[in-house]
Amino acid sequence: MTEDQNRRTFLRVAGSTGAVGLAGLAGCSGGGGSEGSGDTATEGGDESTAGGGTTGSADSGMDTITLGGSMSLTGDNADLGKLYKDAYELTIQRINDNGGVEAGDGNTYELEMVLRDDGTDASTSKSIYQELIDRENIDYLLGPYSSTVTLPASAVAAQNQKPMVEGGGASPEIFAQGNEWIFGLLPTANKYAKSYIDMCLAQDTTPESIAILAEDGTFSQSTAEGARNKIENTDLELVVDQTFPSGTSDLSTNLGRVRDAGADILLLCAHQKHNIILANQMESQGVNVDAAMGTVGSLNESFKDEVGANGDYMYGPSSWAVNADFEDPVYGATGDFVSAIEENYDYTPDYHSAAGEAVIMTFVDAFQNVSEVTPTAVRDHIRQAEFSTVYGTVSFDDTGVINKNMLVYQWQPDPGLQITYPENVAQSSPIYPMPDWSER
């Protein structure tokens, strides 16, 4: 079977936003070429080619259910948006290749996807979701990336009474609105730094002071607030607590304050763009701390490719371990998912990827277990569901949040990215303190 036959995908670009669509994916089970391979690629054209509404008919004649959403496919967060897109795409392909979804209503459905580019812009994302609902008649929503975008997008879901499952927004504010239509697969942002602080305090030479640099976005501010609350219950002294604009490309002044304050450990509450800036400017500013962690985007291969050796010894949090062994109905187990992503897209997945797979599987589990496939029935099932995915056991609390804690990873010169905390799952001990720049 040819690569084109095996991955029938198409890319559409309409106006200022692009869309990735998956339709009628049938072929060899488990196959697939690299990202972007396919037998149809068009620009512009009629929006109705996206698969229409929530239900319809695929080329195979089977009924279809369409999942729709927006994602950061361009801009500063495109590297992270790609992780979700790839996980969605491959998981949907695998499901359809294996016969589709046998729903609780007695019908079998193929899945389709409409995923449009929002550039991590909240206004653009809101417009996309409203259009998907109004024009495409899509009932089942894949959430966007970043808390700043997810919060207003989730309001669209609530106003239109459509279930939204997301793996890219972690601010507690998203789940504090009484919104019964939103479900999140990431631990809330206030948990992101806690394990890192615990790890540092568990070392033989414990830190006495900490510096926090936080982007002014919703997620990062929630992360910083969670860290401050944690610090209040320790003997750590908060010697620097600075907020910077999301659009900044220079952290030198902030890092100068960290250096001059003599902070023992550093916490950056921000996304990948700022983690790259931090890794490069820590050296130029002579910032020698015992440990430094960036909350999002510091664990991706694209981050390490960008910063090279400057990324050595950096820490990052994760809600998932690449060496975990969870059962999954589509891939078999976590390791099989890791291998599939590596083979199809030529990178090792991280927790964004695994959460993306779990987003799709949350809907699939609901479709399989409801007697009538409707938004309300699907929402009600998700609220009380418990099932296994490559991401682990998925179940949601009363506010719609998964119950997970964060692991801590570190980029080590040899053997590379390693889980360092908690000890019961650690692959390596943390290299603590980090060597000074003059010793590297």
Q: What is the CATH number of the domain that holds 242?
A: 3.40.50.2300
The residues pairing with 238 across neighbouring beta strands, listed in sequence order, are: 210
For residue 400, being part of any structural domain is answered with: no
Q: Are 334 and 421 contained in the same domain?
A: no
Q: In sequence order, what are the residues at sequence separation of 6 or more whose Cβ sits closer than 8 angstroms to the Cβ of residue 402?
A: 184, 185, 186, 187, 394, 395, 396
For residue 402, being part of any structural domain is answered with: no
For residue 341, being part of any structural domain is answered with: yes
Q: Which residues of the chain have pLDDT under 50?
A: 1-18, 21-53
Domain range for 297 is 190-318+408-439
Q: In sequence order, what are the residues at sequence separation of 6 or more whose Cβ sits closer than 8 angstroms to the Cβ of residue 159?
A: none
Cα torsion at 8, 392, 312, 423 (round to 10°)?
-160
Give the β-pairing of 101-102 and 17-22.
Answer: unpaired
Q: Give the SS3 label for residue 18.
A: strand
Q: Are 113 and 198 contained in the same domain?
A: no
| Separation between Cα atoms, residue 271 and residue 299, nearest integer Å | 11
Name the phi and psi angles at 289, rounded to 5: -115, 165
Structural domains in the chain (count): 2
Q: Identify whether the C-beta of residue 315 lies closer than 8 Å to the C-beta of residue 433.
A: no
| Separation between Cα atoms, residue 329 and residue 413, nearest integer Å | 36
For residue 399, being part of any structural domain is answered with: no
Q: What pLDDT is stored for residue 367 in this prediction?
A: 98
Q: What pLDDT is stored for residue 45 in this prediction?
A: 31
Q: Are 56 and 159 contained in the same domain?
A: yes
Q: Identify whether the C-beta of residue 73 lies closer than 8 Å to the C-beta of residue 12.
A: no
How many beta carbons lie within 10 A of that of residue 423, not counting itself? 10
Q: What pLDDT is stored for residue 62 in this prediction?
A: 83
Q: Give the SS3 label for residue 65.
A: strand
267: nearest Cα among 205, 351, 206, 196: 196
For residue 106, being part of any structural domain is answered with: yes
End-to-end C-alpha distance for the chain, whole angstroms: 50
Q: What pLDDT is stored for residue 359 in this prediction?
A: 98
Q: What pLDDT is stored for residue 355 in this prediction?
A: 98
Q: Are 142 and 41 contained in the same domain?
A: yes
Q: Are 133 and 70 contained in the same domain?
A: yes
For residue 268, being part of any structural domain is answered with: yes
| Separation between Cα atoms, residue 110 and residue 99, nearest integer Å | 8
Cα torsion at 274, 275, 276, 280 (round to 10°)?
100
For residue 403, being part of any structural domain is answered with: no
Q: Are 264 and 124 contained in the same domain?
A: no
Q: Are 160 and 40 contained in the same domain?
A: yes
Q: Are 39 and 166 contained in the same domain?
A: yes
